[in-house]
Amino acid sequence: MQLDLSIFNPKARSLIGLDVSSSSVKMVELASDGKGGYRVERYAIEVLPRDVVSDGNIVNLEAAAESVRRAWKKLATSTRHVAIALPASHVITKKIIVAAGQREEELELLVESEANQYIPFALDEVNLDFQVVGPAPSSPDEIEVLIAASRKEKVEDRVAVAESAGLKPVVLDVESYAVLAAFELIEAQLPERGKGQIVALVDIGANVMNLTVLRNSQPLYVREQAFGGNQLTQDIARLFGMTFEEAETEKRHHNLPEKYDTELLRPFLEAMALELSRALQFFFTSTQFNQINHIVLAGGCAVIPGADEVVASRTQISTIIANPFAEMLLSDRVRGKSLATDASSLMVACGLALRRFDQ
């Protein structure tokens, strides 16, 4: 979903990928390395106060904007153009097949009449956009068009947060598409660049576990389950008598007493691996597939030390931690060790930053 790209050449101008999740604000700025690859210019993560964002909705606009402003200050960049994203739950998407060779205006009319049939809101209440995917699989005389629609208020909230922080949103994407853009960089790191293999991309954030099973970058199956890192943060707060915010900070800095590992961390990782096994069972029983070649762990919970080992041991499937930056050059401002630790939680921000290089 684009905003005003007619006046915006993504290649010519720097762009920050801005991800506002339920637990933090994440920013990534990429540049070309001059050889067809990318260089990580800078990135920043700013923890959000609790309940500023809930179920993808921005509940406290001022607090969210303040966190975005702080993250941007940390970034120390002059770039103010940002690509932002809506949670997939806020966007209705549908693929339609239409005759090839139509003018833009004709396509717009077709998309509107099609959208009228399946969007449960009046069209003047939604932001509607479409993108030609390519030739239709069934016929060379037809093309496949992806339609995306979201309630205007959902779009306006995200835009307002960026603008209140002094930034200029120029691209509006969907979080799940941004993750897939970053995933292509990870797929290239798998044996035989992941060709023909079935990969489970598991994004475990603060509240939700998202499973996307892919083959050749195409989603075969998607499932969402209520499970996330906030459960661990609440347990830490309870056991050590901290506020939720203190517990979140200490968890991120691995700065907790010894009994944390045995009493909280280990049981949490076991529960996570069990939830993931369950989600995979649903995939096997509801499709014709009966195996997964690789698991890629992403999201805030993937940064927990040992997460990949516990999952691999329970599922008996080769498991890696998502790092879309693994083959990128790093600028002097980026500490490689910190980025490697944070990489799995930066999938959306990375995918958004990649929009700078759209053709």
* pLDDT at residue 40, rounded to an integer: 98
Q: What is the pTM of this model?
A: 0.91
The domains of the chain are located at: 5-89+155-182+327-357, 90-152, 190-321
Question: What was the pLDDT predicted at 111?
Answer: 86
Question: Is a pLDDT exceeding 90 seen at residue 231?
Answer: yes
**Could you check whether 5-89+155-182+327-357 and 190-321 share the same CATH topology?**
yes
Task: Please give the pLDDT value at position 50.
Answer: 86
- Architecture of the structural domain at 190-321: 2-Layer Sandwich (3.30)
Which residues, at least 6 apart from 281, have a Cβ–Cβ distance to it below 8 Å? none
> In this predicted structure, what is the pLDDT of residue 181?
94
> Are 20 and 350 in contact, with CB atoms under 8 Å apart?
no
Does domain 90-152 correspond to CATH entry 3.30.1490.300? yes
Neighbouring CB atoms inside 10 A of 249's CB total: 14
Radius of gyration of the chain (CA): 21
pLDDT at 7 over 70: no
**Per-residue pLDDT at 229:** 94
Which architecture, in CATH terms, is 5-89+155-182+327-357? 2-Layer Sandwich (3.30)
Question: Cβ of 315: how many Cβ atoms within 10 Å?
Answer: 17
Which phi and psi angles does 25 have, rounded to 5°?
-105, 130
321: pLDDT confidence band, cut at 50, 70 and 90? Answer: very high
Cα separation, 151 vs 125, in Å, equals 6
DSSP state of 187: H
8 A C-beta contact, residue 25 and residue 71: yes
How does pLDDT run across 49-97, given as a tens digit for each residue? 888 999 889 999 999 999 999 999 999 999 999 999 999 889 988 888 8
Whether the pLDDT of residue 330 is over 70: the answer is yes
Tell me how far apart the alpha carbons of residues 82 and 147 are, in angstroms, rounded to a whole number.
23
**Each residue's pLDDT tens digit, 243-278:** 988 998 898 888 899 899 999 999 999 999 999 999
Query: In the prediction, which pLDDT does 136 show?
Result: 87
On the question of pLDDT at 1 being above 70, the answer is: no
